Structure 1
């Protein structure tokens, strides 16, 4: 029978010596394997488990609920957030009102890269937007996650090295396994109709598309924020405000020239 992954999270009510050993022994008696374990938030501990039968998890939950030293907070099939919480020891911050918006600060770049890499590994069309001020690490994180996910990345528009605005791709660049990166401000302020036609073609591909500055991107296109599957916000610190006027002005005034793809 195929084994099933489960996520168990509990809050420690009384941290006595040997508590983890007792829980590990209980899992062993129920023939449930521990894949990984970590503290995830304050006095909480998370575990990824592997079980042969759902009945084993039902019995585990019943027994754990009788223990006064812990309180079960989650026991479910693991979500991506659960797996990353165990891996990194913390949960990804998400918007309470908009569940597709996830927030990171600069000292969480490792977690951000891991999160995006997992999104990239999913097959089919995914449209991801990323907000953030200049030099906070947006483009670098996008590229690093591409490497982790073993994806080939292509800049459709960008300012990473020089201002790049592409109006066509070569044949092997039309590939659903590629990752396409678009700078919403550069495309909006500098692009011509050929560039937008290319973007429309790319949007039809069953591939991953990442748009920096999605709010600016949707202002001048037929696309809407509702079309995005995920919105990521990256800040230097938790109190930083993301504003677009200084970013747009900086992009517009750059005189670094255009790349060889600007035709």
Structure 2
């Protein structure tokens, strides 16, 4: 029988010596292996566990629910956010009303890169939007995530080095192995029809597309925010407001370059 991964999370109610040892012994008696363990939030612990028999998970759940020293929070097949929580020792912030919206601050760049790299690994259509003020690290994080996912990045429109708006790709750039990066503000204000035709072609590829400033991008296209699989917000600090008024004005003052 093939082994299955599960995510276990519990909150410590009575922090007594030997508590983790008791839980580890319980898992051992049920032939459940611990892959990774870490604190994920205050008094909470998260574990990635592995078992051949899913019935043992039901037995584990029953026993854990009778313990007065802990409270069982989650016992489920691991989601991407679960894996990252155990790996980095903290949760990534998500919106309670919009589960596709995730938030990071600049100090979280390592977690952000790891998060996006996991999204980029599959050769399939995935549309990711990323919001943030200039020089917060949006493009650099996308490039780093592409490297981690063993993907090549292709700038379709960008202001990273100079303002670039492409109207065609060269041979080899049409590939599911690529991450396509589009700056929504640059495309809206500087693009010609050939550029938009290129974007429509790219959108049909089974590949990852990352749109910087997605709110501006949807204003100029037939796409909506509902078409995005994830919306990522990156701030210098938690209280920073992401404003497009000055952002668009600054972008319009850049030099234009066509390829």
After superposition, residues 68-147 of structure 1 pair within 5 angstroms as 68-147=68-147
CA drift of 1:198 comes to: 0.3
CA distance in 2, matches of 1:53, 1:23: 18
Q: Which residue of 1 aligns with 2:241?
A: 241
- What is the root-mean-square deviation of aligned Cα atoms in Å? 0.8
Partner of 1:206: 206
Measure, in 2, the Cα distance between the counterparts of 1:64 and 1:210: 42
Give deviations 1:110-152, integer Å, cap 9, x for gaps: 1111100000013310000000001111000000000110000
Equivalent-residue separation in structure 2 for 1:122 and 1:57 (angstroms): 29
CA distance in 2, matches of 1:110, 1:84: 11
CA deviation after TM superposition for structure 1 residue 171, in Å: 2.1
Residue 19 of structure 2 is matched in structure 1 by 19
- Give unpaired runs (5+ residues) of structure 2: none
Write the distance in 1 (CA, Å) between the matches of 2:152 and 2:220: 28
Report Cα offsets for 1:169-205 as digits up to 9, x if no partner: 1121111111100000001111100000000000000
In structure 1, distance between residues paired with 2:172 and 2:133:
33
After TM superposition, the score normalised by the length of structure 2 is 0.98
- C-alpha displacement of 1:3: 0.1
Deviation sequence 1:26-48 (CA, Å, 0-9, x none): 11111100000000001000000
2:4 is matched with 4
**Structure 2: distance between partners of 1:65 and 1:183:** 49
Q: Secondary structure at the match of 2:134?
A: coil
Secondary structure of the residue that 1:245 maps to in structure 2?
helix
**Alignment length (residue pairs):** 259
1:237 alignment partner, SS class = coil
Name segments (4+ residues, structure 1) moved above 3 Å: none
- What is the rounded CA distance, in whole Å, between the counterparts of 2:2 and 2:139 in structure 1? 40
Any idea what SS the aligned residue of 1:164 has?
strand
Residue equivalent to 1:52: 52
1:229 is aligned to: 229
